[in-house]
Each structure stands twice: as C-alpha cells, then as structure tokens.
Amino acid sequence: MEEIMSILNTFQSYILIGLAALVIILFIMILVLFKSISNLEKRYRKFMRGASNKNIEELIVGYLDKIDEVKSNSEKLSISYEELDKRIKGCIQKISVVRYRAFDDVGSDLSFSIALLDENSNGVILTGIYGRHASNTYAKPIDKGISRYDLSEEEQQVLNEAMNKL
C-alpha cells in the first residue's frame, strides 16, 4: 500500500492535470450534447406544431389523411384539366387577316379575308369584298385545312398563314 501511495505522490501533478483535462473534455461534451438536444427539441416542436396533447401516431395519421385529400383533389384537377384541354382544341386558336383592294376603282384596302381555325385546322374563312356600289360577305367552311369551295388567292394566303401558326 505504501508503494501505491508513493507512486501516487510521485505522479500526483500528472494525475491532477489528466483529471483536469478529462473534466474539460467532459464539460465540452456536455455542451455539445445540450446543443444537440436543443436542435432535436426544435425539430420535434416543428414536427408537432399545432398538435396539443397528441401523440406521434395521431399526428402521422392526420398527415396521411391530408395526403389522401390532396391526392383526391389532384386527381379531380387532372380530370378537369383533360376536359378543358379537349374543349380548347375545338376553340379558335389560329387567326389570320389579310386586307386588300379587290377592285382598281376603289381606294384603300377595304376588302378582307379572315381565317378562324381550331387546333385541327377546322373553321371558317370570312371574306368581305368592298366595291363602290356593293359590298358582299362570304363564309367558306374549312375542314382539316381544306375548303370544299374554290378559294381566291387572298383566301388561300390567309388560310396558309393561319395553318402555319402554332
């Protein structure tokens, strides 16, 4: 026993320095653990926000119900989108206008041709011919970019311009 006491007395300063270093290391570890617990507590509070007196299972079930509701709404919106897309394909999407002088004795470009086409190039060409003594308007149906009726040069030009639009 005396031998142990003499060894301890000899190395007493080294033992104290070692223990002091160990205490400092443990103190630093405690600070790191407190910081880690603080971050974990913030994350937990964020996770449990708005949930007073609920356990995690109830909270997760609530979130899963909300996910199902959002999924249902998304499917409804997708169906509505498809219906609107079908309807829009039938709407006028391609328009072109050409003004011209149909007769030499009429000043200015008062005659016109307008092409109104949907996505499939179906629609109508409206032509207004203005003369000094008469004014006439014609409508020619267009089916897939083709008219059953003969088209004038201006009508063909307006049809080609409209069909080339996206």
117 closest CA partner among 92, 138, 96, 98? 92
d(CA 131, CA 10): 126
Which is more confident, 9 or 79? 79
d(CA 20, CA 46): 39
Chain segment 35-62, per-residue pLDDT in tens = 999 999 998 888 777 666 667 787 788 8
Give the domain ranges of the chain: 1-47, 52-89, 94-163
Which is more confident, 163 or 29? 29
Chain segment 69-118, per-residue pLDDT in tens = 999 999 999 999 999 988 888 888 889 999 988 777 777 788 899 999 98
